[in-house]
Amino acid sequence: MSKIQQVAVLFLVSQLALMSLFVGLFFNVPVAVAGGGAGACYLVARIAWFYRKWRIAARGKAVVRQRPRPAAHAEIDPSDTDALVKQMLAQGRYALLLRPQVAKGLGKEQLAEAFERLQDGMALAPDGEVVLGRLDQALEDGILEEHEIAACAGRVIKVKQFFLDRYPVTNRQFYEFVAAGGYEQMSFWDQSIWPAVLEFVDRTDCPGPRYWEEGCYPLDKEDHPVVGVCWHEANAYARWVGKRLPSDAEWVKAGSWPVPVSHDNRVQRKYPWGDMFAARCANTWHAGIGATVPVTEFADGVSVGGVHQMIGNVWEWTSSNMRGEELRGYALTSDVPAKALRGGAFDTYFENQATCHFQSADSMLARKPNIGFRCAVGVCDLVLARAVQPLRDEADQSVDNAEEIPA
Amino acid sequence: MTKNLIQPLESYRLAQYAWPVPCYICESENTFDAEFCTRCSAPMALAHQTSAQQTAPHMISVIGPSGVGKTVYLGMLVDMLSRMSNDMQLLARGAFSITLQQTTIAALSRCRFPEKTSNEPDRWNWVHCQIRRARQKQPSELIIPDLAGEALLEEIDHPGSYRVIRAVLKKSSGAMILVDAAKLQEGRRDHDFFTMKLISYLNELDELPKRKKCARPLALVMTKADRVEQCLDDPQQFAMTHATGLWQQCQERFRSSRFFAATVAGACAWRESHSEGRCQIPLRVEPHGIVEPFLWILEQLKIKPPNGRK
């Protein structure tokens, strides 16, 4: 029954009830009085039911519209270091606390807490060499010329040890940056891009990723990777949390986990989980989902170092430029400046384009629904010795205690 | 060393030679062993396959200017439909129907676009397929040719130069016209004009009385939409803004027409090679909006199973 029909029925019942009540009382007819009374009761019950339904709907809408509360919701006294550190930890800016310039002003416990957060959020990739641009056999079909094949022999790059985010940056994490006024703090943005920052708005013209509304992500996608961000937005976020975007070589190293088998040769995985594609390990076109999923899903695709979703779900921005000749054996040019992308996304059609070796690229200003990012930080950029010391002391203490118990 | 071979008496072949086989496209008579129709150059395999069926397959034509992406669109469509398993599935009939899919997918997976379709009709790819849908007990049959854009232009400007094109378009139950969205946004009207010519040509073929609209459904697919965000978001609005003439023609001349946005490559770059020169290559393949126009056409046609049962 439509709303108009419901109102019409209510109106009729109320009229009938009033009439019968009036007639019953005036002519002293008990049946009419009873009928009128019943009608009036029905009317009251119906109105109460409508009111209850309206309250539930209003409450539901209120829940849907409720925006998440950012960690930086209250003003903090800049001299209150403890509160400031807590806020930064809640915002996920632990790497910034471990930077030498900041760390020297912090206590041991604060540093230890930041280090713990670092270990939870990031995985360590050790020093070593990685080969970029080796010809993928799946792409070679006999049409390449000799010099092109020779150019695709690969390029060995040395990578220093670094930490890489275990998961892509989520909507919730990026929301902290937006809520903290990241789009207004120009120090996080390259000077060359300042005029364009005003154009980095969401669907409602508020600063934020392209597919957000009113400066907030869709609430059912809190733990999905943030998408609709260009390379500059990703870079600004990374600076804000005290990290940076991984280089192309770093990304490949963390995913393919090269193992040296001789002085000039190494084994590199095609996928983080091995050399065979497995649909259960990555959200690509094969998974049939056709959209992003929470970053914790497809856990089977975890890399040796403990990094999740390197393949599938969203392409990831890297700090490197799009490479042509060195990687593919031929020169590659783009109409606009482009940055390298890695990993494949939920809509990547071919398995051989969602591997650790495959490099794609896009315009630095592209804000697409299938491009996100994760951050990295070099071990040499952090003060780890001081941060680890309290943990070591604690561990030594616990060992001592363990020895003491039997005694 | 000599080898004794037993030659069977193939007198029945003589009988087949005597019986002419009509081309499925232009209906002109051909000999039994002809590979291509002598009049229109359509493959005779279509005639042999369809002769065994109770009802004639539907034809859908995918047309558009040269370089708009007809081969990529069609190859991708066939591959996606053949990989779908739930609601709809496409099964190729005959080895020749797989060639288009094979060449397109092989090229795209290597980050290349397939080679330009030749202007010679006997080198065109044809897809004859069976469509199985979850709601239908009986599968339906479809024929989709991959026509060369330059040949289309030639036929429109000089009718009769490509008989096969005229025959195909006349026989098509529905049409998909591909337009380059990036060129529309740039304000380059050449594609717009070509498409309007195609629409007029289709109308002429129908030989309708004045003020009567064409009944065959027309899907206007704006390709390369990855470069035009506005087109991907709202294709109807984009067409109204950037292809006003085309939009009005469709409204006035066709009973059912609809604009779609499609993209295959996520991003493109230019490849500089000593052997091939400068050519555009896809940096990754992310198909979007490929199947939707096709499903819409099927819905409009309300294709029934071959024996007429629902």
* Average pLDDT score, chain B: 84
Range of weakest confidence among A176-190, A245-259, B143-157, B202-216: B202-216
Nearest to B271 among A330, A347, A360 (CB): A330
pLDDT of residue B308: 38
Judged by CB atoms closer than 8 Å, whether chains meet at B286 and A334 is answered as no
pLDDT of residue A326 exceeding 60, the answer is no
Across A51-74, average pLDDT: 69
DSSP letter assigned to residue A300: G
Six-digit token string for B241: 């803004």
Nearest to B273 among A330, A341, A352 (CB): A330
Q: Are A374 and A167 in contact (CB under 8 A)?
A: yes
- Residues A133-168 have pLDDT tens digits of 765 554 445 555 555 555 556 678 899 999 999 999
Of the candidates B64, B31, B60, which has an alpha carbon nearest to the alpha carbon of residue B48?
Answer: B31
pLDDT of residue A196 exceeding 70, the answer is yes
Q: Which of chain B's residues have a Cβ under 8 Å away from the Cβ of A333? A: 269-270, 272
CA distance A139 to A137: 5
- Residues B81-128 have pLDDT tens digits of 988 776 788 888 888 889 999 999 999 998 889 999 998 888 899 998
pLDDT band at residue B14 under the 50/70/90 scheme: low
Tally of CA atoms within 13 A in the half-sphere of A216 that contains its CB: 11
Judged by CB atoms closer than 8 Å, whether chains meet at A345 and B108 is answered as no
Across B52-62, average pLDDT: 82
Of the candidates A104, A100, A59, A99, which has an alpha carbon nearest to the alpha carbon of residue A81?
Answer: A104
Of the candidates B47, B3, B7, B56, which has an alpha carbon nearest to the alpha carbon of residue B27?
Answer: B47
DSSP letter assigned to residue B254: B
Interface of B with A in 250-289 (CB under 8 A): 266-267, 269-275, 281, 283-288
Percent of chain B with pLDDT over 90: 33
pLDDT of residue A346 exceeding 90, the answer is yes
CA of B136: how far to CAs of A133, B54, B77, B79, B84, in Å?
48, 17, 20, 21, 16
SS3 per-residue string spanning A302-322: CCCCCCCCCCCCCEEEEEEEC
Buried b (16+ CB within 10 A) or exposed e, B223-261: bbbbbbeebbeebeebbeebbeebbebbeebbebbbbbb
Q: Which of chain B's residues have a Cβ under 8 Å away from the Cβ of A350? A: 108-109, 285
Neighbours of B289 (CB within 10 A): 19
Range of weakest confidence among A57-61, A119-123, A203-207: A57-61
Q: B286: distance to nearest CA of chain A, Å?
A: 5
pLDDT of residue A367 exceeding 60, the answer is yes
Q: Chain B residue with minimal CA distance to A332? A: B271
pLDDT of residue A392: 53
Which bin fits B48, alpha (ψ -120 to 50), beta or left (φ > 0)? alpha
Range of weakest confidence among A299-303, A380-384, B54-58: B54-58
- Residues B245-275 have pLDDT tens digits of 888 888 888 889 999 999 999 999 988 877 7
Tally of CA atoms within 13 A in the half-sphere of B221 that contains its CB: 32
Across A290-298, average pLDDT: 96
Across A290-300, average pLDDT: 96
pLDDT of residue A199: 92
CA distance B292 to B303: 16
CA distance B145 to B165: 10
pLDDT of residue A379: 93
Look at A403 and A133; give whichever has higher pLDDT: A133
Q: Are B163 and B39 in contact (CB under 8 A)?
A: yes
* Average pLDDT score, chain A: 84
Nearest to A353 among B269, B284, B288 (CB): B284
Judged by CB atoms closer than 8 Å, whether chains meet at B266 and A332 is answered as no
Look at A181 and A392; give whichever has higher pLDDT: A181
pLDDT of residue A406: 34
pLDDT of residue A99: 92
Look up residue B76 and give its amino acid: M
Q: Which of chain A's residues have a Cβ under 8 Å away from the Cβ of B288? A: 347
- Residues B126-184 have pLDDT tens digits of 998 888 877 777 788 889 999 999 999 899 889 888 988 999 998 899 999 999 998 88
pLDDT of residue A350 exceeding 50, the answer is yes
Q: A164: distance to nearest CA of chain B, Å?
A: 25
pLDDT band at residue A189 under the 50/70/90 scheme: very high
Q: Which residue has the tokens 């497995």?
A: A278
Q: A372: distance to nearest CA of chain B, Å?
A: 14
